[in-house]
Amino acid sequence: MEEGNKKDVVISGCQRRTIMVTNDDGIDAPGLRALVHVLVSTHQFNVLVCAPDQEMSAVSHSVTWAHPLSVKQVDINGATAFAVFGTPADCASLGVSEALFPSVPDLVVISGINKGSNCGYHIIYSGTVAGAREACLNGVPSLSISYNCDGGKKSDVHDFKLAAEACLPLIIAVMSEIRNNTYPQGCFLNIDLPTNVADHKGFKLTKQGESSIKLGWKQVTSDMQRSKIGTVTDTAASQEHLFFCREIRRPQVDEGDSDYRFLQEGYITVTPLGVLSPAETGPQAFFQNWLSSVVDTKLTLVALFIVLMARSKEEEEEEEDVTQQVLTTRHEHLRKGKISHPHIGDSRSYNGNVNEILQNHATRCKMIEYTENVAILKEGEIEIDR
């Protein structure tokens, strides 16, 4: 009887929705492992994993062009998983392309769970958000999930498991909308969970705010740099380099109706994001008038004049380069010893010491100016006996 009840609860494989998980903390990160564990344990989903083989935090939406992606299958209980030598955007693109996994018509991508929040301007730098954005660009519904873990202690799988369980109602709700063909196109959801996720205040629909951490640069010693990243091991080479590390200058907190504010208040924030980056209405109107003024005023003529002057200078410099090349060639022939020149006298041929030739040439020419030599060269008055 208990076995029969269990079968009634578990959805058959052919009816399960498929979720592909990626992230930017790497395939071994506790956030990804906890999310996969929770998804698998529901018996509601087929779970695929396509994630970076190492930490790729803050790489934003960078992609790989210069070389093929190296992919290795990894054992994750209950899921089909691959580790990729690539960025989160690479992983999302490869995972939904049908090149790695079979055709999956009902695929949904979840990027996360990230260690640390992704609110405000941090969204721009986030590899986690980029993974979801890349899936959305490919027409696949997606979510990015980040956990504002306590920076004072090391977060473990249990913390991320609580975060994954808290997101489960959102994931199931998104699946339902997709099944009913009511889920909006061209957007994805960015979800942030508060530090005390077990006692969160509920879900709050928010907008991307303007919170950020202003970063600067600080010069450090090579020893400090090597201890942190280990990129320079040769002492002599390190002495030829300067080293700079990022440092936090000041946080900028958005006090408005934003994702960061409600996250700090203990809510699970849900922020719809688009794949495009249009400006607000105000700047759009300003630049519309501004562009018209540029076209209709004398600024266009001024710009054209500047371009023509620049071209003229470039042509002049090119001509000087050609002249210098000719002079260099003549000088090389002169060094080799056999030359005839009307200013040297009687078109005599000189062989031998180059210093003597140059001295006689300067005396006979009475220190002819460089510009006259250029003119002579152009008129072909110097003849070299090859």
* pLDDT 10s digits, 122-178: 899 999 999 999 999 999 999 999 999 875 556 677 899 999 999 999 999 999 999
The answer to whether the bond into 113 is cis (omega within 30° of 0) is yes
Q: pLDDT under 50 in the chain at which residues?
A: 1-10, 226-227, 229-233, 342-352, 366-371, 373-386
Is the CB of residue 17 less than 8 Å from the CB of residue 44?
yes
Residue 331 pLDDT: 67
Burial class (CB in 10 A: 0-12, 13-18, 19+), 210: middle
What's the token pair of residue 104?
Answer: 């999956």
H runs (alpha helix) in the chain: 2-9, 30-41, 88-96, 122-125, 127-137, 157-179, 222-229, 235-239, 259-264, 281-296, 299-336, 354-365, 370-379
Which residue ranges make up each domain of the chain?
A: 2-211+255-277, 212-252, 300-379
Residue 60 pLDDT: 92
For residue 149, what is the DSSP state? -
Is the CB of residue 146 less than 8 Å from the CB of residue 64?
no
CATH of domain 2-211+255-277: 3.40.1210.10
Sign of CA dihedral 213, 145, 142, 259: negative
Residue 181 pLDDT: 92
Between CA 22 and CA 16 the distance in angstroms is 19
